[in-house]
Amino acid sequence: MTIASTTLTSALCHLPTISKHTRPNPLLLSVSIFDTPMADRRRINGPPSGTHPPIYASTLTPSSTSPPRPQRTRPSNSLRKIYLRTGLTPSASGSAYLELSPSPTAHPPTLLHTQPSALKLTATIHGPHPLPRSAPFSPNLLLTCSIKFAPFASRTHRRGFVRDAAERDLGVHLETVLRGVVVGERWPKSGVDIVVTVLEAEEDGWWGDVSSNNGGGGYGAMTVLAGAITAASAALVDAGIDCVDLVSGGVAAVVSDAAQASTLRADNNTEAETGTTIVLDPCPAEHERVVSACVVGYLQSRDEITEVWMKGSDGAGGADEGLIDRAVEAAIASRTVLAAALRESTEEKLLGTKSAGVATVKPGQDVEITAA
C-alpha cells in the first residue's frame, strides 16, 4: 500500500496546475498517472556483437591455447578452387554464385583451430528497365553497382544494414570495371542494377593475431572485389546483356613470410634483396605480413585492363609492373572457370545437348586453374 501511494503521489506531482475554476480532465489524469516507461518483455534481443561458447580450463592443453598460424600449402602461382554457377535467383534477370574453397590446414578444424574464412558471394542483375520520366535523357545504359556485406559475413565484426564507406568504395570499383565491358549503346534511356551480396568475406588477417585489422576494407576486400568482378560478369551473360568480352578479376600480393620462404622460393618468385614473394590469390591469414596487393579486371580476348587497384607500401623494390602482370595471370586463370561455367549453363538452356565439336566440362568436374 505504501508503494502504490508513493507512485501515485509522484505521478500527481507532474500534473499541470489546475485552478479552482477549471474542471479537471479525467483523461489527462489517467494518462499522466500511467504514462511510465515500461520494459519490452515480449522481445528477446540478441547481443550486439558475436558471442563465444564457454571453454573450460580442464579441457585445454598447451598446444590448444596457442593455435598455430595456418600455412600456405599451395604454390605461389596456384589459385584456390572456384565454384561458379549461374541462374540461381529466379526473380532476377541474371544471377551467379561464386565460392572459393577454404585453404587446407595442417590441423583439423576444432573449437580453437578453425579454418580461414572462404569467399562466398552472389551477384544479381535487375534490368534493363526504363528510367523514370524525371531522369534526363541518356544515350547509354546506366549502371548502378552496389556491394553489400551480410551482417554475418565477418567472423569478428558484425556489419550494419546501411552500407559503410568500404562497401561504397568497392561498388565504385566494380562499376568502373563493368562500364568498359557492357555495350551501353544498345539500351538508351535504360538502367540496370547490379547487386553483389557477400555472404562470407575474406579475412584481413589471422584471427589469432591481435594486430590484424578485422574491420574490413583491408587486403581481404581485394579478394572480395576480384570475386565480385567474376561473378558479375557471369551474371551479365546470364541476363543476356551484350558485352564486348568476358571480364575476370585477379589478385596478386607481395608477402613477407620467413616461415614459408623456402616453400615459395621454389617457384622463382622471391626477391632476394627484400625477402618478399609475389603470390597469386593470397589469403591474408596464411602470411605474416602482406606488403602490397593488386587487383585487376582483365579482358583476355582484347588484352585490355579495365581496372587496376593497388594497395600497400612499395616493399617490392618498385616492381609494380611485375605485380600487375601476376594479377593478370590470376585473372586469366579465373577466366577458365568463368568460361566453363557459362558454357555449361548455355548447354543446359539449349535442351541440355552438347555442342558439336566443342570440348565441354561435365557437371561437378574440376577445372585446373593453375597459372602458367
Q: What is the pLDDT of residues 229-280, one digit of tens each?
A: 999 999 999 999 999 999 999 999 988 876 555 555 555 554 544 578 889 9
Q: How do residues 101-118 score in pLDDT, each as one tens digit?
A: 887 665 565 555 566 678
Question: Is residue 149 scored above 60 in pLDDT?
Answer: yes
Most confident of 8-12, 284-288, 294-298: 294-298
pLDDT at residue 283 tops 70: yes
11: confidence class by pLDDT, cuts 50, 70, 90:
very low
Antiparallel, parallel or unpaired: β 270-271 and 276-280:
antiparallel
Sheet arrangement for strand 276-280: 270-271, 276-280, 247-256, 289-299, 304-312
Residue 339 has pLDDT above 90, yes or no: yes
**Which long-range contacts link 155-158 to residues 24+ away (Cβ below 8 Å)?**
155/50, 155/117, 155/203, 155/207, 155/214, 156/50, 156/207, 156/214, 157/214, 157/215, 157/216, 158/48, 158/49, 158/50
**For residues 202 and 223, is the Cβ–Cβ distance under 8 A?**
yes
Confidence of residue 354 (pLDDT cuts 50, 70, 90): very low
8 Å CB contact between 334 and 249:
yes
How far apart (Å, rounded) are the C-alpha atoms in residues 149 and 147?
A: 7
Residue 291 has a pLDDT of 86
- The C-alpha cell that represents 94 in the structure block: 541474371
pLDDT at 43 over 80: no
Lookup result for grid cell 590448444: 64
**Rounded to a whole number, what is the distance in angstroms from the first to the last CA of the chain?**
86
| pTM, entire model | 0.74
**What percentage of the chain reaches a pLDDT higher than 70?**
63
Residue 372 has pLDDT above 90, yes or no: no
Distance between CA 75 and CA 265 in Å, rounded?
A: 9
Cα separation, 352 vs 346, in Å, equals: 8
**What domains does the chain contain, in order, with CATH numbers?**
71-105+115-349 (3.30.230.70)
